[in-house]
Structure 1
Amino acid sequence: MESSESSNPSPTASVTNNNGEDPNEIFNRAYSTNEKGDYLKAIKEYSKYLELVPGDASGYYNRGLAKYTLKQYGEAVKDFDKAAEIDPNKASVFLYKGYGNEMLDNCAQAIDDFQKAIELGEKNNPELYGHKARCENHDENYDEGLKDALKAVNLDKKNVYAFFELAYAQYGLERYSDSVASYSMVLQLNPNDEVAFHNRGLAYAFLKKIPLACKDFRKSLGLGYAGAKDRLAEYCK
């Protein structure tokens, strides 16, 4: 999770609220509250601050992070949008705007956000490339999904999320042997990934390695993936 910005760059000392509080004090209180994990209270404090200093990108960004942590993705994206409008050169804003849009299944916008974050400096972030690949795979843009997943795993050889997206893109491109190898890497890193067993089983099936496929489908079902039951009925009669 990205850390909140701890300092407020806007000149605020001359502005106070009805209680005579300095906005900097409110901002610092919001930041401290957020660091303690009281995200609802932090949101309220940042809202007080933004009433006094509505032009501060850091306030919107930090409030957006708190909302994102609470899975209030729609509201978080609104704050990230506002922060980006005020400061269009902050890479972290576009990064989390992308994460938020991805969680809202707005993958086309998320891809644009991730690309903007890359252009602003997030060029070596394996998590970003993994999530960008997921959205590209979601939209069946497997060529781009493959490229970004490869970037992610090259940056982090133990990024199980990125290996999963790499395997998924390879499967979508009908590169079934490569997909099996990548799903095997997923399972080496996370031996109880029931979806990876299921998907590797499908790749084995396309390679006509039915005994191996059925073994994976059984393992997937045993780990709780209900969809594997249909695959067993289809391939393993």
Structure 2
Amino acid sequence: MNGMSVSYRRGLMGAVLLGFLPLAACQSTGPVADVAAIDTAQGSPENIASLTAVIDRAPGQPEGYNIRGTAYGRGGQYKQALADFDKALQLNPNYYQAYANRGLIHRYMNNQSQAIADYTRAIQLNPNYDVAYIGRGNVYRLAGQIDQAYADFQKAIELDTTDPRAYHNRGLILQQRGQHAQAIDDFSKAISLRPTAPEPYNGRGLSYAAQGDDDNAFTDFNTSIRLNGSIAESWANQALIYERKGDRAKAQKSYARAVQLDPQYQPAKDGLARTGGSAG
């Protein structure tokens, strides 16, 4: 499972200060960061009915419950997902994938201790399961336990994961620590693994900007917008570069777009106020 509700998009990192202007925080959204918009089709009655028919034909097989639980989770039906993962684990207490999937649901529901416990159990059952390290690392990062998060992402990378989330999220921590050259390397690796995900372009752009490389930062923010024009952070970051270049009109327009997409996104609101715009 790679989905997550939009409410978890905010507050993952503090703003990076660049001179007098606050650079919009790099939010961890979309598939690279183990977050995505709810896919209602996954939890549609038709899809659930089809998966239920599979379970009815083999009620003693845990895989069917795990698959249906995944569909429920991606459809935002978290209680039903938990029930299915519980059943899968009742049938097979060593089903490490079901532990990791249930951990993700607990994370959606902000049950951090339960999420960590499930991911940890998955790792105990399979110490080479990179997905569980990445999932637990995200829970630690959301909880502000940065050192533990870094260790989990590092472990997944040492296991030769091909999951771009490990590099993207380690890059976010390196960025938070001010290690921008290393962060750029990690974001670039994430991009090479999944070039169509906008989030690592946003992250890399922030680190380029922190190094004073506004041209590469601007290119990355524009690419992020091209890949997904509905992310407020991308527009706010683009606006910041316009602002730093002295183009207040374009900056104001981009800040306004960011506020339209996310009226609660403070860097965009502050930028709009600085450039003389109005959120109303």
1:118-151, CA deviations, whole angstroms, 9 ceiling, x for partnerless residues?
21120x3223322322333344432222111111
In structure 1, how many angstroms separate the alpha carbons of the residues matched to 2:256 and 2:64?
53
Say whether the 8 Å CA contact 1:64–1:80 is kept in structure 2.
Answer: yes
Consecutive unaligned residues of structure 1, counting only runs of 5 or more, are: 3-23
- 2: distance between equivalents of 1:202 and 1:156? 26
Give yes or no for the alignment of 1:190 onto 2:228: yes
Q: How many residues align?
A: 209
The aligned residue for residue 204 of structure 1 is 242
TM-score between both structures, scaled by the size of structure 2: 0.63
1:45 aligns with 2:45: no
Give the TM-score of the pair, scaled to structure 1.
0.73
| Partner amino acid, structure 2, of 1:231 | G
Aligned CA distance change for structure 1 residues 41 and 171 (closer, same or farther; 3 Å): same
For each residue in 1:201-230, what CA deviation from the matched residue of structure 2 results, as whole angstroms up to 9, or x when unmatched?
Answer: 112222333333223223323434453343
Code of the aligned partner of 2:66: Y
User: Helix, strand or coil: the match of 1:187?
Assistant: helix
How many percent identity over aligned positions? 18
CA distance in 2, matches of 1:155, 1:44: 33
Aligned to 1:88, what secondary structure does the other structure show?
A: coil
Query: 1:147/1:30 Cα in 2 relative to 1: closer, same or farther (>3 Å)?
Result: same
Question: How far off is 1:105 after superposition?
Answer: 3.3
Structure with higher Rg: it is 1
Of structures 1 and 2, the one scoring higher in RCO (CA 8 A, sep 6+) is: 2
- Counterpart among 137, 147, 164 of residue 108 in structure 1: 147
What amino acid does structure 1 have at the position aligned with 2:200? A
1:151 and 2:151 correspond: no
Change (3 A) 1:178 1:230: same
Q: Within the alignment, does 1:62 sit opposite 2:98 as a pair? A: yes
Match of 1:217 in 2: 255
Partner of residue 8, structure 1: none
- In 1, are the aligned partners of 2:99 and 2:121 still within 8 Å (CA)? no
**CA positional deviation for 1:184:** 0.7
Gap change, CA 1:48 and 1:205, over 3 Å in 2: same
Partner of 2:160: 121
Q: Distance in 2 between matches of 1:225 and 1:167?
A: 23
Q: Does 1:231 align with 2:271?
A: yes
Q: Is the 8 A contact 1:46 1:63 kept in 2?
A: no
**Equivalents in 1 of 2:130, 2:101: separation in Å?**
14
2:135 aligned counterpart, secondary structure? helix
Which string of whole-angstrom CA distances, capped at 9 and with x for unpartnered residues, describes residues 155-207 of structure 1? 22211111111112222222222211111111111223222111221122223
Where does structure 2 lack aligned partners over 5 or more consecutive residues? 3-58, 73-79
Picking from 66, 74, 90, the partner of 2:113 is: 74
What's the RMSD between the two structures over aligned residues?
Answer: 2.9
1:86-136 Cα distance to aligned partner (Å, 9 max, x none) = 4323323223222332333333222211111121120x3223322322333
